[in-house]
Each structure stands twice: as C-alpha cells, then as structure tokens.
Structure 1
C-alpha cells in the first residue's frame, strides 16, 4: 500500500508551471538555449563581499561559458570577462580525463579563482593561465611556457601561482614572473601534486597539493602508479582507433603507492610525512591547520572500515598524532566537513549514530558536543563564522527529498532553518561578510540564484530565472508535468520514496505503459523535489503517452547507514527487490498496464536495468541498459571494495553481484548502449553480456557511440540516444 509523502506532495501540488503548450521534440531537449534558462555555475563571492561571480552559457551555445558578475551594492549584473579574449584550443589528455572525473563539460571559461584581497582573478584556459586584475580590466597571459598546465591555484595571499605541468609542481612569482620547478622526478608512472585516478573518480579529491595559509609551504602527494596494472584500451572513434594505455586499478588488484611531502618555500626543501608503515592505504583528504605549522591528513584503510584523522607538526620530525577515528563494519563515507577552529577545537561530521551529524571536538580529539541529532542527515557544512560562533549547513531535517539551509551555534543552541521555499538549496558564502548566494531549484522552478543575509533574508536576485514569456521553457511549460510523491515499505520495513509522473492529457479510463527510470546506486537520489536536465526526456515521454516511475531503493543516499549499508557484500539483491515493490504498487493502479512495464538506467542504473530484466522477467517486459557495470571485478578498487570488500575474501559476493549468472534467464526486450571510449565503466562490461547472449542464441539490440566517454556528452549524441530509446520503447510497449 502506498503512503503519501506529505511534505513533498504538498509542495508539488502547490507549484505549477504556466505557459504555452508546444510539444517537445527530442531535438529540442538539449539544444540551445537550455530549457532551464540561465543556469549559472561556479558561483563565488569576492573575498570583500562586493561582487558575486558566476559562469553563464551563451544563448546560442549553452556549453560555451563567459564570466559574469553582480555588483552587490547596486544589483547590476554584467559580463566581467568574455571568453573570446582567452585562448581556446584542444585540451590535453590529462585535462580531458580530469574534467570527465569532475563531470565538467563545455568550452570558454570553465574555472576561475579569486585572489585573497579580491583585486584579481586567476583563470585557466586551454592549458594557459590568465591573471585578471580588476583595476586594469583585462586578462594578462602568464609566462608558464608552452606545455599544458592543469590544477592552477593562487596562493592564499595572492603572491604566487602554482600549477602542475609535466606531472611536476611549479611556482610562478607574480611580482617577478620568476618560474620555479618545485619537484623534478615527475613523469611516466610518477605524478607530483596530482590526485590518482580513484581519488578523482571515487573520493572527490581533484587536487594533489595544498598551500599553507601563510604561503610558507606547499603540501603535496607523490603518486607512484608502477604497481597498478597497465591496461591497453581501444578507444574507438569515428575516424580511427586510438590505443590508450591506462593504469586501471581493478578491484582486488594493487593501488598506487602514495607519499605526502611538504615543500618549504624558503629553500624548496622537501620533507616527507610519516604516514605509517602500511602502504596499501588511501589518503583521501589533506588540510592545513590555521597556524601553518600543522598539517592534517585523513588515513583510510584499504577496506574502508577505518578513517583516521592525523595531524603532524611540519616544523619538526615528530610522528603524526591521531585525533579522530571513525570505524564501521561496512564502510566509512568520506566528506569535506573538517574545520579547524582558531581556539584549537575541531568541527567534523560523522555517521557514528547512524546519520551524518555535526560534532565539536577539542584539540585532543575528544567529543565536546554533538551539535545536530535525529533521524535525518546533514549534507555538508557550508560556512563557519567563528566570530559569531555560527555553523551554517545543508541538511534533510524537513524532508528526505529536499535540501535546506540551517544554522546552529557552537554550543548546539539557536538551531534554525534559513531557506524557505520547498526544493533544493545550495549556499555559497562570502569569506569576510555575512552574506551568501542561494542556488535554488525545484520540480517547478529551474535554477535561480539570490543573495541573502545571514538571517536568510533575500537581499537581491542574481538570476530570478522566472518562467515567463521569453524564457526558453515558456512555450513548453503548459505541458510540463509534476509528479505525485509517495512511500512504500521494503521487506525489512524501511521506507522507500517514489515519484510517479502521469502522461499528458491523462485519462483514468485508459491503460498506459510505464517506464521505470532507475539509478539505484549509493550516494544518489532520483526521488527529489528538484530540477534536473535528466527530466527533460521524462517530460518528452509523458507527451508520447508513457507514465514514468522512479523509486529510490535501499542502498541509495541521504537516508542513514541502516538504509544505505544493507547492500554490503552483495549488490543487486535489495535494490532489485525494492524495484519489484515499486512495480507491485504500479500494478494496483487501474490505469497502469502491468503487461507494458520497461526499466531504463545508466551506469549503476544500467546495471540495475539488466538485473531487473534478468532476475525479474515477469515484472519487466523490456530494459534499456546504458554503460552498465556487468562484472564488478572489472571496476575500480575504491568504489567496488567499499561495497563488496575484496574479491579474495568475498568471491561469492562478487559472483552473485555480477549480472553474468542471470543472463540465462533473459527472454527478450533488451537494448544496450555504451560509449566506445569510456575509461570509467570499460566497454568490456557490455561486450561480456553481448557474447553471453550471442552464445545462448538470444536476440537483443545494441547501440554504440564512437568517441563517447561515460557521461555521453554532446547534443548530437544525446539526441540520437533518446531517439533510439524512444523508438525501442514504442516498438516494445505500444
């Protein structure tokens, strides 16, 4: 029996979109301008709080970004820097891979950083570096040589620029233009100042070096990839095949060897931090303390059961001290919520009580107080105001399917919610002024940005993005469908949230086919009150007479450890059972044709689509599987071993979590697609299923995309992909 999800249902019912009733076409879904209108990214506030800055895609090319600004005092919005003034060219293979890890796609200005005094910006473009002084109003090319650079940073006080070039760390003195090479042995398997593959892909660690606050030193990782298996992959493009050698750490196989060094900039001498005798570990986070004398690093065991926050005095040869230890019999999730306070106390988030909450520790690592509590999760600490003793954070106290901004005092008092509108709120705070930018979206509101004071009061719109005449969505908004939310019970009694979109011109006397759109993997949610470009295709299907259903099964994110960790040591069991619960509910609806149910997902969702079709063929008539993991021994160490442990100790779990034992159950109705240059979920995952089905004489459909990576970027690729899926669904379900 379905249970109404009261808050989200009320919010969805209270909001609606008004506008024209022009029908969507597949070609329009991802054409320019974006249906969402202006959706700025890379939001920042200048250190002095005088300007809000952000990147905006152009009307004629939504993937080409210029740098914009809003004057906080006047509210005037204008272009700060036109990307045409910077070099545009081919990216290096290293930068392409890094952007794929960051899920960054586009051209023009993609990144920028403010100087500490708010008088200048550092802007990388096509492997070059530009310094934009506000007083001069122009971008100056910095003398970094001809080789491609990546991961450039302004030093904390703005005197230097650091960057990685040729797998070494370099330094540019802005006053003299003197360039210094800080490390010398980078190249081949050795990478200095760079994060390794799994750190970028699975840990959210995109950099491999960190400035001391007083500019006296730089901490950095030295990564030796020699132990990692060197794989020769065929990246298949339309005009040829590129043989690519990649160090890919398959589950159970060796990882990189990692060291943590500190470069003293007074003499460029390198000292090495004692990270312990055990070498088969991870260093997912590194952070300086405010005094620039102590450096912290998070030590994570290979099995990810243990996470240890350690601090070392870099001015001596002292052994690092362990301050905070986290342990789980399943796994410990990583976050970015470590804050060292000037009085020596430490703010840290932990799931030790089953939900991610904020804790205050003393300088010895002893808990002073748990500052947030309850059966809900903190998403992130967004800002710490030490003077006023306020912690601003995002969390799910009001609803599992929404994210709101809250604040609480250092002593746990004064807890309050700052955001008001129902949906998803992400805040960007000024460093030295009590203001923040609120990036907000909901099912009925494309992303909009507003400026607020520290009480939550809106001061100005940066981009209201109202859907009115002239907005890209307006002509289509009259047919835009909002879902119904509800909840079901899993076999173990835990609550599962769903959302159900009815077709356009819904007629309760008719029977409709339904597409179950699934992801199902850890850390993710589909059932939210949020705007997503992924829903454009959903809206198109609704106009073609399909219903669309989404359910977040056990194992997905933001619901606490009991909900998430049920998948430990065997994937694809609880997840599939929960999706079947969803179909059981759909079968109770008189307007759903239970004989015409398909499932579609990409990545983990592609894995889920295969399992649903293979393990529950009586529930699903057809499946579309995109870039699926089909055998977890083909995926990387950090992600796979987090959930399945090591294949040496859980061989049966790996076997049963693969789709391969269930291929024999396949009857009919499968479409698979994969990018032929995917370096994340390797193409071999799909070809193994192809061969098994062919050996069994089973018929299925395949679409491959030359040159496409895992994210399937590009308007032409997406247009073809969604035409292919629509054609398949119409043939199989109509």
Structure 2
C-alpha cells in the first residue's frame, strides 16, 4: 500500500497496492453532466479529461550531465499520450524529439499484461513514452514502447531500434559505461552491445514461477523498489534478484464483464501466509556462473534495497518479516559472503528509504536515513558503517520520501528536501563536512528539484494552494534561465481552501486540516460537511498543493464544506505520531477524524456537524465505511471507494507492517475488519469498486456487501466495469463524481 493520493486523476492516486490495469484512454469530447443546472458546467468534464488539469504540463524533467539541455515528457492538454521534448538552456527553445507515432508508425500502443501490471504498480495511467533514460554522457536516450526498445542519438537526431528476442521487454537500462543496454525478457536478463548490435542472455532459468531480474509484487507495491537487477559501476558484473513464487498461493480473479477471457493467475501473498522467496546473485555481464549472496534469509526474508554505487561495494538492506529489524550488508562478489555495516530496529516498524545507503564517489562512506531519534534524520557514515556526523537533524523536517538526494562530490554538498510543517516541502543544502543546513527556498508550498550531474543547472518545480505546478530552469547561482513550457488547460478557479491546525496543546501536537468552502460561501449559513479522507499510513490529504483541492472545490460548490484531516498514522509528524496506530486500524485513525471534526466545529460556526458525510478511496474507502459502521452518531452517510474490507485479504508487506502477524494479533485483525461491524450499519453507504482491481480485489466489496445483505442492512454498490484501482476513464470519472454529489445531497441536504 504505497501511498499515492487521489483517485488517480491529478497525479495523486489513492493508495493501497496496485492492480493489473486497464488503461482507459481519455477522450477530448465533453462529458455532458447529468445533474441539475446548478452543477451542469464544463469544469467536471475538463477536470476528468485533463486528469485534474495535469495533462499538458512537463513531467519527469532530466537535465543533461553538462547542463546544455533539459529533457522532459509532455502530453497535449486533453490527451494522456506523452512525448519526449528537449529544452535548450542557451536559446530557451523547445524541440520535439520523439513521439509514439514516429517510433511505432502509428499512435496505437500494444501493452503486454506484464507492462500493464508494472505501470499499475508505479501508478502510471498515461500512455506513450512514459519514461526515458539518458546515457551517462547524455548523448543518447533510451525509450521503451510497446515492448520495443529504441535508442535516440541526440547529436545526430537518429533513432535506432534494438533487435531483441521475442517476448515482453521490461526495465531497460544503460550500463554505467553507456556501451550496453540491458533489460528483462521472459523472466531473464539480457543485454545488447550497442556497437555490435548483438543480443546476449545473461541469466537463465526464468519462467512463470521463478524470475531473474524482476522485483517481486510486494517490492514494487510496498517497498518502492521497482527494479530487480543492478550493474556494477565498472559494467563488468550484474547483481540480480531471483524470485521464486512457487510457495505463494495463486489467486485467479476474473473480470465478470469479460466471461470469454481466461482468469488471470496471480501469486498474491496474504498476511500470515507464504511470501515469494528471494535471493541475490552476481553474474558476469557476459553470463556464466552465478555467485549467490549469503545472508540469514530465514531471519531477514525481505530484500528491501540494493545499491551498487560508484565508490562503494555491492550493498543490500534486508528486513525481517515484521519489518522491525533490518541490517545493512556489504557483499563480497567473489565469495558471496556478507558483512554487517549497521542495524536498525523499532518495536513497531521501520520505514524504508530507497535512496539510502548512498555511497560517496570517493569510497569514504555513505549517507543513511534513520528515525532512531524520533523523526527522519540524514547521517554520514564511514566505510565501516560507523557514525561520522549528523547532517540533517530530526528537527529540520527532513522528508526522505519526497527528497531526490543529490550529492555534489566536488563541492561536498548534499541537496535534499525538508519542511517545518507537514503541509509544505522546501529545498535545502548541507555540507558533508558539517554545519547547519541552508534553506534554498522561502516560499511555502511544494518544491521539487532535479540537478545536472555537474550541478551547473537545476530544474525546479513549485506549487501551492493557489498555483498549479510549474517547472523553471536555473543556474547553480540561482539565475533563472526560463520555464519549461506548459500547454495545459488551466483550472477556471483557485480553490477556496484554508489550511489550519486545531487541538494543539501540551498533550496533543494538534491536527492539520483543510477546509474548502463554496465559491459563493455565505458566512451566515450553516453547511453540511463532507469529510474527504485518506487517514492512513504513508499519505497525506492536507498539503499546500492546488491540484489536490480542485475536485473538493467542485463538491463544495454543490452546497457543502469539504474537510480533510491528517490524524495519527499519517507521515511527517514524527515516529510516535505515525506509529500510534500499530496493532489496529479500527480505532485511532477513526477517533482522530472525529476529534478533529469536533474541534473544527467549535472554531467554525458554518459547519453543521449534525449533517456530516465521509468519502475516500482505498484506505480512505476503508475508513469511510468504518466511520458509518462504528460512529453513526457522527457520520450520517458514506461513499467508500475500493475499500479494504478484511485485512486478511490484503498483502503481507503492507498489512503485517502495521498489524503484525494474524496468528499473533487475531484481535487486531478482527477489530480492524469491516466485516466485524457490518451488522451495525444504520446509515446510507455507497460502495464503489473496479471489477478488475488486483490491488484491493473486488472480492473486498463483495464480501462486505454479502455481510450487509445477510444482516438485513440496506446499502448501495456501484461496480466499475473493467477498471482497476485507478480510474482514469473520463466518462467514468465524471459519472462517479456526480453520483457522489447526488448521494450526499440526498442524505445530507
């Protein structure tokens, strides 16, 4: 359940694991509203077709190593198909480099089931050129499209298609020296020598049950690790994950809308049951015998992170099943023996940071993220793993999950992201030799930055509650060079949002909340309230980012005040705040929503707390359903999208992190299950779920609906035919928002 927030529109997708996708294509046509004239406007149609007004904006910018250009992806305003562009830093001119039509001869992409599933894990709902990789010298660009590989030579403007064997090509990469391109094909690793154009197979034995070079489901879905193989810095060796899924039970979900299609077999690890068995091997770049890395896999079954940085040895982070113990190991690639650099422990769970360990190029040591002092901190460790100095203290508000750690080895500086409050993230710099970190931004909001390898150039993005994201390019000294051009449709309004903190006192650090009022707000009136909730681990709803409030503003304009609350269990408030939910989902997350709601009602007289509805997706869908089941005195109606109903039916790595093993915590699982409380329903409940969701399976909503039916409890179910955990289809999105608005209007107004 990696956290991704929204319902898959404006780049915020609503978390929980992923599903085998059906990537519905947006249409440029308007979707006519089926609601009354009050809401019969163009906004909702535009919002759906443009993915929350995010299409047409530059994404994934990458400066070239020497800073002569910035490459980025961009679609048209009403199309989800991405193309590759280049922005010249000297002239400020933009040119189109590659398009799907240019590479394929048409716009029609053919995605394999494996590539669809990979995109779902990464929450990618766009099409076309969804990613690219620059060669180490920046002269070539690697692109994968429809299972085919293309290399674009920037100086000559020439495209070369690589001749690969038949099959599904996944996870292509340049070797560190730029002379080869590697990829996973039919569950084995292959490489092509770019000069000779000859393909060779590096590993063997991959099949439908055992794969070489692919990250297993929970690594992609929950650990944030999407690759399963790593080049050595000298390009002579490849380390790779071998994943044996044979011990894992197989689920065969079928799409009821396609009875002619065979059910898709999926190895799905559930709490307390078998996981994929993973080991790490090292093989020569030309193939041959594999040396297997030796560690106590019975104690540490999870291969969480693998790094093979310049200046450092092959390094891995391994965790125990409960994610309460982890070890950072170095591996001898000749013998497979490992040595412990450091260990971490936590009585609840340990968060992962896929950016660390990050070895320095001179081999003197590495960067490491820890929470042992109560909040994330960035440390410098020596080559033996011993503590050297604290670079970023817990009080700075370091945000490892949002940072793109950049290390300027020449100037011995580290660039990172941090924020004094959980609603904003700024850019910072700190010296490897010590001293206080320096803030590089002073405007509250969400800042991102991507640096050229020589740090002569930076592409930086900014958004806040009143501005959509925009990318600009600047020199290292801060001199602005220009803006990466957007062709996006701009929202017709700025959301009427207020970010507040309530309840702060000696015993409570307080709750961060957002309120979105109607654009024609009348302070003399009292409004029904809709709580737009996530409320679970790894994700925030309350943030200084305009895109996150556009949908809320539309709903508010139907006659509500829309409120969001980040309670305990959500990130960026310190270890104790986040770990307070350990052992049960069914109490603290809901209690905090109720407590904060009452505090808001005391401060804002326009909130009619006798008319409160709640809506959410994924974990938010779970919490919305739980709200009307357990607290009907507060919540009078709920719309629950893709809810996890029974945590025994979700995946191991996510669920066991927070609830432990079901064999050891049966009461926590029972109390957290919606089935336990189903017979108590006395408020209107609308359940919404994609029938092809393979992250939170449609099974969940079916089980809850069955339990409610058997208990004689009235409720509504809206199946989204053929859709997964994401809902990119514009027509479905419009109808879904309308249905939600009608539901709350009927039961709250």
* TM bracket (short chain): over 0.9
Q: Which residue of 2 aligns with 1:55?
A: 73
Secondary structure at 1:567's aligned position in 2? Answer: coil
Does the 8 Å CA contact 1:355/1:560 hold for their aligned counterparts?
A: yes
Task: Name the CA distance, whole Å, in 2 between partners of 1:164 and 1:118.
Answer: 23
Q: Which residue of 2 aligns with 1:628?
A: 643
1:600 is the counterpart of 2:600: no
The alpha-carbon deviation at position 23 of structure 1 amounts to 5.1
Q: Closer, same or farther in 2 for the Cα pair 1:422/1:360, shift >3 Å?
A: same
- Aligned 1:128-527 pairs, distance under 5 A: 128-237=148-257, 240=260, 242-265=262-285, 268-278=288-298, 281-291=301-311, 294-314=313-333, 316-317=334-335, 319-335=337-353, 336-341=355-360, 342-379=362-399, 380=403, 382-396=405-419, 398-463=420-485, 472-473=489-490, 476-477=492-493, 480-489=495-504, 493-527=508-542
Secondary structure at 1:236's aligned position in 2? Answer: coil
Does the 8 Å CA contact 2:202/2:287 hold for their aligned counterparts?
A: no
Q: Which residue of 1 aligns with 2:85?
A: 68
Task: Name the CA distance, whole Å, in 2 between partners of 1:295 and 1:713.
Answer: 40
TM-score (normalised: structure 1): 0.92
Does the 8 Å CA contact 2:495/2:550 hold for their aligned counterparts?
A: no
Q: Closer, same or farther in 2 for the Cα pair 1:39/1:572, shift >3 Å?
A: farther
The alpha-carbon deviation at position 492 of structure 1 amounts to 5.2
Q: Which residue of 1 aligns with 2:136?
A: 116
Does the 8 Å CA contact 1:381/1:391 hold for their aligned counterparts?
A: no
The alpha-carbon deviation at position 539 of structure 1 amounts to 1.6
Secondary structure at 2:265's aligned position in 1? Answer: strand
Task: Name the CA distance, whole Å, in 2 between partners of 1:592 and 1:60.
Answer: 37
The alpha-carbon deviation at position 381 of structure 1 amounts to 5.1
Q: Which residue of 2 aligns with 1:12?
A: none
Q: Closer, same or farther in 2 for the Cα pair 1:376/1:579, shift >3 Å?
A: farther
Q: Closer, same or farther in 2 for the Cα pair 1:411/1:402, shift >3 Å?
A: same
Q: Which residue of 1 aligns with 2:53?
A: 35
The alpha-carbon deviation at position 237 of structure 1 amounts to 3.1
Task: Name the CA distance, whole Å, in 1 between partners of 2:299 and 2:388.
Answer: 33
TM-score (normalised: structure 2): 0.90
The alpha-carbon deviation at position 615 of structure 1 amounts to 1.0
Does the 8 Å CA contact 2:499/2:512 hold for their aligned counterparts?
A: no
RMSD: 2.0
Summarize deviations over 1:437-479 as a string: whole Å, max 9, x none: 112111111110011333444332224x6xxxx97226x22x6
Q: Closer, same or farther in 2 for the Cα pair 1:257/1:29, shift >3 Å?
A: same
Secondary structure at 2:668's aligned position in 1? Answer: helix
- Any gaps of 5 or more consecutive residues in structure 1? 1-20
Task: Name the CA distance, whole Å, in 2 between partners of 1:673 and 1:22.
Answer: 23
Does the 8 Å CA contact 2:301/2:318 hold for their aligned counterparts?
A: yes
1:728 is the counterpart of 2:746: no
Q: Closer, same or farther in 2 for the Cα pair 1:575/1:78, shift >3 Å?
A: same
Task: Name the CA distance, whole Å, in 2 between partners of 1:277 and 1:446.
Answer: 46
Summarize deviations over 1:255-306 as a string: whole Å, max 9, x none: 01111011112563321111225276100111114247x2101111111011
- Aligned 1:99-114 pairs, distance under 5 A: 99-114=119-134
User: Once structures 1 and 2 are overlaid, which stretch shifts more, 30-39 or 438-447?
Assistant: 30-39
Q: Closer, same or farther in 2 for the Cα pair 1:32/1:651, shift >3 Å?
A: closer
The alpha-carbon deviation at position 664 of structure 1 amounts to 2.1
Secondary structure at 2:678's aligned position in 1? Answer: helix
> Match for 1:649 among 655, 664, 667?
664
Q: Which residue of 2 aligns with 1:91?
A: 111
Task: Name the CA distance, whole Å, in 2 between partners of 1:437 and 1:493.
Answer: 39
Q: Closer, same or farther in 2 for the Cα pair 1:239/1:277, shift >3 Å?
A: closer
Q: Which residue of 2 aligns with 1:14?
A: none
Task: Name the CA distance, whole Å, in 1 between partners of 2:263 and 2:431.
Answer: 56
Task: Name the CA distance, whole Å, in 1 between partners of 2:163 and 2:94.
Answer: 32
Task: Name the CA distance, whole Å, in 2 between partners of 1:266 and 1:242.
Answer: 38
Q: Which residue of 2 aligns with 1:15?
A: none
> Match for 1:566 among 567, 570, 580?
580
Does the 8 Å CA contact 1:313/1:320 hold for their aligned counterparts?
A: yes
The alpha-carbon deviation at position 484 of structure 1 amounts to 4.0
The alpha-carbon deviation at position 145 of structure 1 amounts to 2.9
Task: Name the CA distance, whole Å, in 2 between partners of 1:210 and 1:700.
Answer: 50
Task: Name the CA distance, whole Å, in 2 between partners of 1:283 and 1:277.
Answer: 9
User: Once structures 1 and 2 are overlaid, which stretch shifts more, 386-395 or 137-146?
Assistant: 137-146
The alpha-carbon deviation at position 42 of structure 1 amounts to 1.6
Q: Closer, same or farther in 2 for the Cα pair 1:675/1:715, shift >3 Å?
A: same
Task: Name the CA distance, whole Å, in 1 between partners of 2:432 and 2:499.
Answer: 39
User: Once structures 1 and 2 are overlaid, which stretch shifts more, 657-666 or 295-304?
Assistant: 657-666
The alpha-carbon deviation at position 318 of structure 1 amounts to 5.8
Secondary structure at 2:468's aligned position in 1? Answer: strand
Secondary structure at 2:614's aligned position in 1? Answer: strand
Task: Name the CA distance, whole Å, in 2 between partners of 1:616 and 1:247.
Answer: 36
Task: Name the CA distance, whole Å, in 1 between partners of 2:116 and 2:55.
Answer: 27
User: Once structures 1 and 2 are overlaid, which stretch shifts more, 119-128 or 47-56?
Assistant: 47-56
Secondary structure at 1:73's aligned position in 2? Answer: coil
Task: Name the CA distance, whole Å, in 2 between partners of 1:494 and 1:393.
Answer: 25
Task: Name the CA distance, whole Å, in 1 between partners of 2:689 and 2:240.
Answer: 36
Task: Name the CA distance, whole Å, in 2 between partners of 1:501 and 1:371.
Answer: 38
Summarize deviations over 1:556-578 as a string: whole Å, max 9, x none: 01111111000001112111111
- Any gaps of 5 or more consecutive residues in structure 2? 1-38
Task: Name the CA distance, whole Å, in 1 between partners of 2:150 and 2:690.
Answer: 34
The alpha-carbon deviation at position 36 of structure 1 amounts to 4.5
Large movers: runs of 4+ above 6 Å: none
